[in-house]
Structure 1
Amino acid sequence: MAIRDAVSADGTRIVYRVSGPETGRPLVLLHGWAGNLRCWGGAADDLAQRYRVIAVDLRGHGYSDDPGAGYDDPKAWAGDVAAVLSAEGIESGAVLLGWSYGGIVATDYLATHGSAAVAAAVYCGSQAGIGPKVPGAAPGPAMEKAIPGVFDEAAGRAVRGFSVFGNANTGPGADKGVDAQRLFGTSLATPPSVRKALFYRTADNTGTLRGLDIPVLVLHGTEDPVVPAANGQYIADNAPNARISLWEGAQHGLFIEDRPRFFAEVSAFIDALD
């Protein structure tokens, strides 16, 4: 396992972690809003048994720089992913796996750079676009309830804002308490200004989805209160070579709620590429 960094086109330093066999197919993990590369927990370890897993800290998150700008620019997000791929010498065959906001970032990359370096994409509890009235980008009830509290600089109000997510990121059950605390901690560690900036953008990536020439897998919980399942269905309906796996009764953090199923479905999809 190695911690590395790359410099994006606008000078932002992007930190990422590489694990798994160097000869394995590159699998780039893009976390969600107010997360970091540690959010994947044991699921990243599972995937690293077979693939070259590259878990990225998005700009403003984890140990990556907060440039104070670029959060509303699809090309800036695309440049971050491109910088990591370039630093790792990846010119083809990569799989992009975006959870929640990470799916928007993955689509920003595809919209800007195309799919020459990418063999496939996985959207997990995610959406491809963002913004008011953008199709396939409606916020779920938990997200609507959390805003604007989660943007507040006052710790008490921010904590109360995040508390409305409840078990959404882990699924019900006290056995997921350690995972819940890790995700809660990473959210609070993300600067409030960054948490807010990510929502002040509009990107309709429908055209990009319709023009994709790569296989797409959509994983989505039917009871996701953060990103509605309809957003995942929108991706599946518009990407030409897409299939969707709806997890009945599941919520937002599928890789924690049912880690074995997540590994099985993602690995089966990637292995079929060969």
Structure 2
Amino acid sequence: MESHTVDGGGGTELRVDAAGQSEAPTILLVHGYSQSRLCWYEQFDGALADEFRLLAPDLRGHGDSGKPAGSDRYRDPERWAADLRAVIDELATDDPVLVGWSYGGLVVSDYLAVDGTDDVAGVVFVGAITEKGTDAAAEIAGEEFAGMLDDLETRDAEASVDALGRFLDICTAEPVPPREYHLMLGYNARCPPRVREALQARTGSNAATLRELDVPALFVHGSADRVVRPRAARQHADLVPDGEVSVYEGVGHSPFLEDPERFDRELRQFATRVTET
């Protein structure tokens, strides 16, 4: 595995891990709210790396990436688009497949809205949102998740860690092993509360972008997701011209961790199809 530093929008440094075949088609994996590139460890350690080039950045404000001051650094779609553009331009081969998990779906949508699809082979949304601060966004937010946002944004360290624990509890349908849980807690804690607050304060819809999407899209969702309501997948798929849905029965918000074998298989099939056309 390689580790790179890329200058994103406004010069914000982004840490990016890369693995797999250097000349193979690229899959760009974009993590969610408060998370980290490290959440994709099953994919980096699995068979996908035998056939594809995998890239996973820490988003701005997360993990080992820069955490610029000022909420405006996290509210502008063009900044998020510039971040992904920098990663693609510097590290991707040809036209990548974009994979956005949870809040990462919003970031991917920002890129599509600003830069279009000329350099994109296909898009995968995993337990994803694509807009914030709208009625549609509120309707698909999980009740438990919405109820803990204030605690996730508190500056009180003890309360913040407690809230992170409750957040991680609803990221999967079943508890993860202790080692994985503590890894998740560690990298989630690296996202400052001020960044979490700014992420949630965003407003804007990407529905028009989805309606005009001219590359294939796959919407993956766990039937037991408590962060983003499962109906979000079908609602999003109904917007796009070429969208399909894959529902994981009994799986929560993290299909790529909870059922990595199926997730990797379906992602491999999708990526192979869209990069060969």
**Does the 8 A contact of 2:172 with 2:225 survive in 1?**
no
Residue in structure 2 matched with residue 221 of structure 1 by the alignment: 222
Shift of 1:173: 4.5
**Does the 8 A contact of 2:9 with 2:80 survive in 1?**
no
Does 1:125 find its partner at 2:127?
yes
Matched residue type, 2:81: A
Matched residue type, 2:113: A
Q: Does the residue aligned with 2:106 lie in a helix, a strand or coil? A: helix
In 2, the alpha carbon distance for the partners of 1:156 and 1:232 equals 35
In 1, the alpha carbon distance for the partners of 2:180 and 2:229 equals 22
Residue in structure 1 matched with residue 73 of structure 2 by the alignment: 70
Matched residue type, 2:78: K
Distance 1:9-1:167 versus aligned 2 partners, 3 A rule:
closer
Which of 94, 97, 119 is matched with 2:96 structurally? 94
Structure 2 gaps, min length 5: none
**Does the 8 A contact of 1:169 with 1:180 survive in 2?**
no
Q: Does the residue aligned with 1:49 lie in a helix, a strand or coil? A: helix
Residue in structure 2 matched with residue 267 of structure 1 by the alignment: 268
Residue in structure 2 matched with residue 196 of structure 1 by the alignment: 197
Does 1:25 find its partner at 2:31?
no
Coordinate RMSD, CA, aligned: 1.6
Q: Does the residue aligned with 1:118 lie in a helix, a strand or coil? A: coil
In 2, the alpha carbon distance for the partners of 1:52 and 1:111 equals 25
In 1, the alpha carbon distance for the partners of 2:42 and 2:137 equals 33
260-269 or 165-174, which deviates more: 165-174
Residue in structure 2 matched with residue 115 of structure 1 by the alignment: 117
**Does the 8 A contact of 1:216 with 1:242 survive in 2?**
yes
Q: Does the residue aligned with 2:51 lie in a helix, a strand or coil? A: coil
Q: Does the residue aligned with 2:55 lie in a helix, a strand or coil? A: strand
In 1, the alpha carbon distance for the partners of 2:139 and 2:54 equals 28
TM-score normalised per structure 1:
0.94
Structure 1 gaps, min length 5: none
**1:242-273 Cα distance to aligned partner (Å, 9 max, x none):** 10001122110111111111111111111122
Residue in structure 2 matched with residue 171 of structure 1 by the alignment: 173
Matched residue type, 1:79: A
In 1, the alpha carbon distance for the partners of 2:170 and 2:116 equals 33
**Does the 8 A contact of 2:134 with 2:204 survive in 1?**
no
Shift of 1:122: 0.5
In 2, the alpha carbon distance for the partners of 1:193 and 1:123 equals 26
Distance 1:60-1:31 versus aligned 2 partners, 3 A rule:
same
Residue in structure 1 matched with residue 108 of structure 2 by the alignment: 106
**Does the 8 A contact of 2:61 with 2:192 survive in 1?**
yes
Percentage identity across paired residues of the two chains: 33
